[in-house]
Amino acid sequence: MKINDEKLNKLGITNTIELALIKPKEWEDNNLYPFLIDGKPQTFDAEILDIQKSTKIIRIKFYLKNIKTIMWGVFFQWKKWHESVFYKGKNLYIRGEVRNNQIIQPKPISKIGEITPIYKVAINQKSFKLLLKKYLTIENLSTLREDIAKILYFMHFPRNLEDINEKKITYALKWAEIFNYLNKLQKKKKNYPANPINADPTPFINSLPFKLTNDQLKVINEIKNDLSKPLQARRVIIGDVGSGKTIVMLATAFMSKKSAIMCPTSILANQIYEEAKKFLEKFNFKITLVTQKSKFSEYDIQNSNLLIGTHALLYQNLPTLNTIMVDEQHRFGTNQRAKLEKLTTDKKTLPHYFQFSATPIPRTQALIMSSFVNVSLIKELPFKKDIETKIISKEDFKELINHINRQIHLGNQVIIVYPLVEESKNFDYQSIEEAKEWWLKHFDGVYVTHGKDKNKEDILLEFREKGKILITTTVIEVGISLPKLTTIVIVGAERLGLATLHQLRGRVGRYGQKGYCYLYTNNKNNKRLIEFSKILDGFKIAELDLKFRKSGDLLDGKIQSGESFKYFDEVKDLNILEEVKLFISTIT
């Protein structure tokens, strides 16, 4: 149930589930027990036998009727009002924590037999409890599974100790939190009209000189089904490095008849353009490359079956398209993607929308994302990669140079990735500026580029044809295909996220040859690097990465580092997420 209450809305509470998710910081259990509870405040039925006063503390001798024992109470802060409450012969109920066989700073209480929640909130206890009574009922939590609704309700209005069982409450809080999150994601999911396309990808698939993997075929079939519907498709296709996403894009273009692919760099756009010409022109497909440097006319733009370009597409008078594909979608802003969609619509319908990414995500995140968009995973690789990952440091430098010399002698290429372009006093590793002279002095065919370099794309293209060693930053993470690249050295590897390391490692051995990845670090015992070096599967790397870096908030339209949840744990609570997804499927 939605809540429109100024006080609660200021606390970020907009519905009854969010209100129920405010866990009490503690519960005051004012029941009388015939035993001592260790380490927690307890309630006693007491009679005052004696009072001893000194300058610093007041000691009161109590007979505790419910546990039939005598115990001293100690007051470090004695106020004037205490005089009228605590006097010899008085019978009263008191509450306090027992430490070293003494009750510390006991306070008088008027009622027993209740368990009272205490909250840590930005409004006073009395006001908050009134709001709880006003809005929180089991009926108002009826969108939750019945047992979860009851656990959360009785957490706030406990009847007995079982109602404040920590294990039971923790489970319910996790369950309700992820349910509420998925519910909000689903409400953001809107259905827009689109032109249905009934297309058969079989002629395209049969024309290929290689066999597609089962995962590629499965995803192409999912896209075929998406296109056949009169509602706009929104699907994210996530594939490991080298899993063959480009062919899936071209199959989508073949089925769509009129589409565009937007790429983050002109190098990537050029590569996909060359692949498209190779596999689609035989079907009389007109393909146009749209980058700052490519040549094209207005006629080309309007009459192409497939436009392939960079953000330069956003500045053209684009025709109405059936489908938009965005490669490496996280490298574009939400506004850029929305603008491309707007430019290619006929106002009545929207183009189908497919996002492609080479950054595998954990199963938890994929399940969460699937509440908002359809998700396809390409896990299977066309061939098994053979990449050896080694963790090295300064003492291994000679061995590294010997390896580089061997690879160059074999006609292969090497990339050295540095963490910084320029020198920094706060950094333990050399920058490109500090290191490049050594490489230029000792090797031929050395090229240098980085993210700030305006000529980086030209340098990368020249390196591909003539180079032996490339000195660069993580700009190489996504980009040019380098068939002769067999070795990558990542300096200061422990400073990078595992997903980035995996992307960089994925540059080598792309054409079936043996690859080598050297992780250069000052700490060879780094646990993350040791685990990373044992795993080549990008989806397993994503699970490992999640243990160190929680995924971000999809509701805000971005995936970033940082915790999204207060109770739900993306690493440990996959089973709860699966339960919630199953429950949602039965009620929608």
- pLDDT of amino acid 477: 64
pLDDT for 397 equals 96
Token couple for 313? 């597409």
Burial of 547 (0-12, 13-18, 19+ CB in 10 A): middle
Q: Are 276 and 306 in contact (CB under 8 A)?
A: yes
Q: Is 489 helix (H, G, I), strand (E, B) or coil?
A: strand
Instruction: Give 329-359 pLDDT, tens digit per residue.
Output: 656 666 776 788 777 777 788 999 999 998 8
Distances (CA, A) of 367 to 46, 180, 370, 523, 567: 56, 14, 5, 35, 17
Within a domain: residue 34? no
pLDDT in tens, 460-503: 999 999 999 999 998 776 667 899 999 999 999 999 989 899 99
Q: How far is CA 588 from CA 187, 276, 371, in A?
A: 12, 41, 12
Residue 550 domain-assigned? Answer: no
**Residues 243 and 309 grouped into a single domain:** yes
Given this model, what pLDDT does residue 559 score? 39
Which parts of 475-526 fold into alpha helices (H)?
498-505
Res. 558: pLDDT tops 50: no
CATH number at residue 102: 2.40.50.1010
Percent pLDDT > 70 in the chain is 96
Whether residue 506 is contained in a domain is answered as yes
CATH code assigned at 423: 3.40.50.300
Counting the structural domains of the chain, the total is 4
Question: pLDDT tens digits for 134-145?
Answer: 999 999 999 999
In a domain, 118, yes or no: no
Q: How far apart are CA 277 and CA 443, in angstroms?
A: 37
**Same domain as 146, residue 97:** no
222 and 259: one domain?
yes
In a domain, 223, yes or no: yes
Residue 293 lies in a domain: yes
Neighbours of 499 (CB within 10 A): 20
pLDDT of 279 above 90: yes
Residues 455 and 359 in one domain: no
The residue segments making up the domain with residue 76 are 41-109
252 and 214 share one domain: yes
pLDDT of residue 478: 62
Same domain, 156 and 255: no
- 188: pLDDT strictly greater than 90: no
Residue 348 falls within a domain, yes or no? Answer: yes
* Residue 256 sits in the same domain as residue 292: yes
- Band of pLDDT at residue 552, cut at 50, 70 and 90: very low
pLDDT for the residue 336: 77
pLDDT digits (tens, 9 = 90+) for 405-448: 999 999 999 999 998 888 777 778 999 999 999 999 999 999 99
Q: Are residues 359 and 400 both part of a single domain?
A: no
Mean per-residue pLDDT, 369-376: 89
What one-character-per-residue DSSP string does 97-161 give?
EEETTEEEEEEEES--S-EEEE---SS-HHHHHHHHHHH--TGGGTTS-HHHHHHHHHHHS-SSG
Q: Report the C-alpha gap between 520 and 421 in whole angstroms.
A: 17
Q: Are both 311 and 425 inside the same structural domain?
A: no
**Residue 346 and residue 283 share a domain:** yes
- What length is written for the chain? 588
Report d(CA 406, CA 398) in Å as an integer. Answer: 13
Judge whether 207 lies within some domain.
yes
Both 12 and 97 in one domain: the answer is no
pLDDT at residue 400, rounded to an integer: 98
Shared-domain flag, residues 137 and 238? no
